[in-house]
Amino acid sequence: MDKETYPPYVGEIDKLIRRVSFVIKCRGRDILKDFDITTPQFNALLHLADDDGNMTIGELGNRMYLASSTATDLIDRMERNGLVERVRDTNDRRVIRLRIKDKGYQMFDEVIENRKVYLNRILKQVPANEVEDLKKSLKSLYELMKPGMKQDK
């Protein structure tokens, strides 16, 4: 298949990605019901874990497309629940950075493990070569799309 034949597939690929994403999101919410964490709090942990504690509330809000006040309220609740803490930047004392606490990492790890168990159960029904092809294709697609993301520098 040459690149000229892709347009007929674009709509179907878009639909399939949306459907898979929706199922994963719903299953992720089901998994979170077993933990003392909300979906926005878990999403915040995902972003913070990706950045290794080098993020401010404003940067987190931008990545999550939240208003500054909403991001602050979210972090306030997470701090009260012992998931994160605010830490002054060592280079600029005016800057407050967010750090995931041990309880936050533990919860994050447990949720991710549950998600992986679910996905593994599904993928076991797919031939191994197709799983490898899927991984390669998704990685390629992500690498091509990533530069256009708003939060990328």
CB 97 within 8 Å of CB 53: yes
What's the whole-number average pLDDT of the chain? Answer: 91
Q: Does residue 108 surpass a pLDDT of 80?
A: yes
All domains of the chain, ordered by start, with CATH? 3-148 (1.10.10.10)
User: For residue range 128-137, what is the model confidence (pLDDT) as tens digits?
Assistant: 999 999 999 9
User: For residue range 53-99, what is the model confidence (pLDDT) as tens digits?
Assistant: 689 999 999 999 999 999 999 999 999 999 999 999 889 999 999 99
Q: Residue 1 has what pLDDT?
A: 58
DSSP 8-state class, residue 21: H
Partnered with residue 55 across adjacent β-strands are 98
Q: What six digits make up the tokens of 152?
A: 């990328």
Q: Residue 3 has what pLDDT?
A: 62
Whole-model pTM? 0.82
Give one DSSP letter per residue of 38-92, joined into a string: -HHHHHHHHHHHHHTT-B-HHHHHHHHT--HHHHHHHHHHHHHTTSEEEEE-SS-
